Amino acid sequence: MMGYGGYGYGMMGYGWGWIIMLGILIIVVLGIIALFRYLQHPGTAYRNDLSNKAIDILNERYARGEISDEEYKRKKAEMKT
């Protein structure tokens, strides 16, 4: 009991301190990993989703006869770049 200020178990409490510290460490490491993954490919899933929707709309317009073959090919080529 000496040296612990009379609390008996010190800073670590009843053995839960190391579990809490490990949990915080895991959360920090997962946060850093998520940050690196985001910085490598920011928003690519969102851009791909928008591109797919645009091509679907273009295909529908072409199927309904609203646009010509030349216009369809030109717009589709523009979307791929």
**Strand, helix or coil for residue 7:** coil
Distances (CA, A) of 13 to 1, 27, 48, 54: 13, 21, 50, 58
Half-sphere exposure of 36 toward its Cβ, with a 13 Å CA cutoff? 6
Task: Say what the pLDDT of residue 1 is.
Answer: 46
Domain spans in the chain, listed from the N-terminal domain onward? 1-42, 43-81
Between CA 73 and CA 6 the distance in angstroms is 81
Which of 75, 37, 30, 36 shows the shortest CA–CA distance to 55? Answer: 75
Task: Say what the pLDDT of residue 20 is.
Answer: 86
pLDDT in tens, the chain (81 residues): 455 555 555 555 566 777 888 999 999 999 999 998 888 876 655 556 666 788 888 999 999 999 999 999 998 888 776
